Chain A
């Protein structure tokens, strides 16, 4: 910034390309695409984790098992994650309190890793009963939120997302669109909201981090103007 002092004659106006890229709509689309693919990838991998648990249908072949569940599940997850990831920074902006807590990629990576870990725990660890499983996962999810988010808006949105997503998935199951082969159905229902909550927090974290680029560029632009 002090460079502006030193060299005020350097023109700072942006060309059309940058402004097109940094225009809000374009940026939104790019972020949405990135979030979509992250969501699809996570959906595939986490579905695989659940396959080991035989929660979803077990296919005869391993390779095909990646794409075993219904084809529309990963795109749906991707879309949902894109929406969530765009919703979080948008909400931050509307509330007027930008999220400043641990805004760096390494923190985001930790968040993703912990999210995968929560999924892993839900898939691998044998709990005595479902209450225990639910409580553990809930504690882990809250811990995730506390470690990486700590914003009330994030918490609220996460709760909302968890509720909505659980509702939708249960509706789908009851209508027979999707099915589990879980040994008992309560098992699935007990971890689903926690997973959705943690996923919402994680995608929100990624979305906020991505939005930081936009903020940075826009800030620079406005400063130059």
Chain B
């Protein structure tokens, strides 16, 4: 988001760097996507396992649900991190060996 506001600091009037805009938009999209997935996944696991039923047991957040959501989101980010590290490693070896030479 800082791109949007930082780029607005007027050196050249009006022209915001389109490349940076693109990057910022892509990053925002990515974050929103991750967030939506997280919410959907943890909601399904912890609040309402049955996707057909559209009922909440109670209007307030329950203790069991709160604990479940804490652990669910922690695990989600952990998985995200591990997968990201793996991707980086793969990217690194791909760069070093000049291409995706198998696993």
The answer to whether A and B interact is no
Task: Give residues in B with beta carbon < 8 Å to A.
Answer: none
Residues of chain A at the chain B interface (Cβ within 8 Å): none
